[in-house]
Amino acid sequence: METKHGRHLNTHVGLPRELRRVGEANIAEIFEMLDSFRAGRWYGSKGNGKVIRKCLAFIEEIKKWVVL
């Protein structure tokens, strides 16, 4: 958000809303999915390789978005 839109948020909580506000709905959805995985699966250390691969793919999408 800061790199592309010059706006820094101190918390990730409102990030999807702010991304939508500036026309970034696709990336907002990715952040929402990551957040839903984060609480129960990633930090919960559940052995779900499929979810982890999906999270890593989302992170790669975010990296690509930032440099566009």
How does DSSP assign 9-33, residue by residue? -SSSTTHHHHHHHTT-HHHHHHHHH
Sequence spans of domains, the chain = 2-67
Nearest to 16 by CA among 34, 28, 8: 28
Q: What per-residue confidence (pLDDT) applies to 9? A: 79
pLDDT, one tens digit for every residue, the chain (68 residues) = 888 888 877 777 788 999 999 999 999 999 998 888 776 655 555 566 777 788 889 989 999 998 86
Tokens of 57: 């793919």
